[in-house]
């Protein structure tokens, strides 16, 4: 019992505690700065928009794979599983070629807006919503759908009144996990690197590594920790006795 916990204590708890201690002198400056408040609002906005987008796209894709299956649907489902292990910055890198000044769509201005971050996060995090949904949908008896349809319910009604109520817990689980991960997302924001889209993790990096202002970086990090852990605690509670799986 002791050695693994000792490892976590020395390598995780001790550093995070030091971050809190080091942040003390910077609180006044950080909380008062426009830069910080804008980043905080931007972080939450981007996370909420991305999560809603992921839920819409992920639910649609999962419904088609599960209930309107086509040849190769299983391949697509396993592809989705693979994508979970890929790094998020690949998506941001590809956006340079798709939306960049000399790319496929040539919408140079788009890359510097928060919407580029939102679109990249939807691309990357949709599989995180799809996985629990696909699992829940595979447990749903097909007969239920057939009976509803045979009694005259159209596809929309079957979807709304039979499928969605059954998979709601999976949607809540996938959605809250995505919200946490998008609040914490760094790779995509770093690679897109637009001035107007500074988020809290990005600000921690800028203050700490570019400006060597450790106390300010620590203060922002503490806000981020409170935000993330608060949401994580809520997530575990919302999911009841079941563990909030992050992996």
Cα distances from 121 to residues 28, 50, 78, in angstroms, run 32, 6, 20
Helices (H), ranges, 23-113: 27-32, 34-67, 73-83, 89-99
Shortest distance, position 168 Cβ to other proteins, whole Å? 17
Rounded Cα distance between 206 and 202, Å, is 6
CB closer to other proteins out of 117 and 204: 204
Q: Who's near 96: CB < 8 A, 6+ residues apart?
A: 103, 111
Shortest distance, position 52 Cβ to other proteins, whole Å? 14
Shortest distance, position 13 Cβ to other proteins, whole Å? 7
> Residue 100 CB: number of other CB atoms within 10 A?
16
CB closer to other proteins out of 169 and 208: 208
CB closer to other proteins out of 80 and 117: 80
CB closer to other proteins out of 91 and 171: 91
Shortest distance, position 141 Cβ to other proteins, whole Å? 11
> Residue 37 CB: number of other CB atoms within 10 A?
12
Rounded Cα distance between 174 and 58, Å, is 10
Shortest distance, position 33 Cβ to other proteins, whole Å? 18
| N-term to C-term CA, the chain | 22
Shortest distance, position 135 Cβ to other proteins, whole Å? 13
Shortest distance, position 233 Cβ to other proteins, whole Å? 9
Largest CA distance in the chain: 68
Percentages helix, strand, coil for the chain (3-state, rounded to 5) are 80, 0, 20
CB closer to other proteins out of 8 and 31: 8
Helix axes 34-67, 114-138, angle to 10 degrees: 40
For 129, the token pair is: 């919503």
CB closer to other proteins out of 123 and 178: 123
CB closer to other proteins out of 149 and 172: 149
């Amino acid at each position: 019992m002791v050695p693994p916990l000792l490892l976590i204590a020395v390598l995780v708890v001790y550093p995070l505690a030091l971050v809190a201690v080091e942040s003390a002198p910077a609180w006044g400056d950080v909380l008062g700065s426009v830069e910080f408040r804008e980043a905080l609002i931007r972080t939450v906005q981007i996370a909420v928009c991305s999560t809603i987008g992921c839920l819409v796209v992920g639910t649609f894709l999962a419904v088609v794979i599960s209930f309107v299956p086509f040849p190769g649907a299983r391949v697509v489902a396993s592809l989705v599983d693979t994508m979970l292990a890929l790094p998020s910055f690949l998506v941001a890198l590809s956006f340079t070629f798709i939306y960049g000044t000399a790319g496929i769509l040539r919408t140079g201005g788009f890359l510097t807006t928060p919407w580029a971050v939102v679109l990249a996060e939807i691309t990357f995090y949709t599989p995180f919503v799809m996985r629990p949904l696909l699992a829940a949908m595979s447990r749903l008896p097909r007969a239920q759908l057939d009976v509803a349809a045979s009694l005259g319910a159209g596809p929309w009604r079957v979807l709304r009144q039979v499928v969605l109520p059954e998979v709601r817990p999976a949607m809540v689980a996938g959605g809250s996990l995505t919200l946490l991960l998008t609040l914490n997302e760094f790779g995509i924001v770093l690679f897109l690197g637009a001035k107007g889209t500074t988020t809290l993790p990005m600000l921690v990096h800028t203050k700490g590594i570019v400006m060597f202002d450790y106390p300010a970086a620590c203060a922002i990090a503490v806000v981020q920790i409170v935000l993330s852990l608060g949401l994580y605690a809520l997530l575990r509670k919302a999911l009841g006795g079941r563990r909030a799986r992050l992996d």
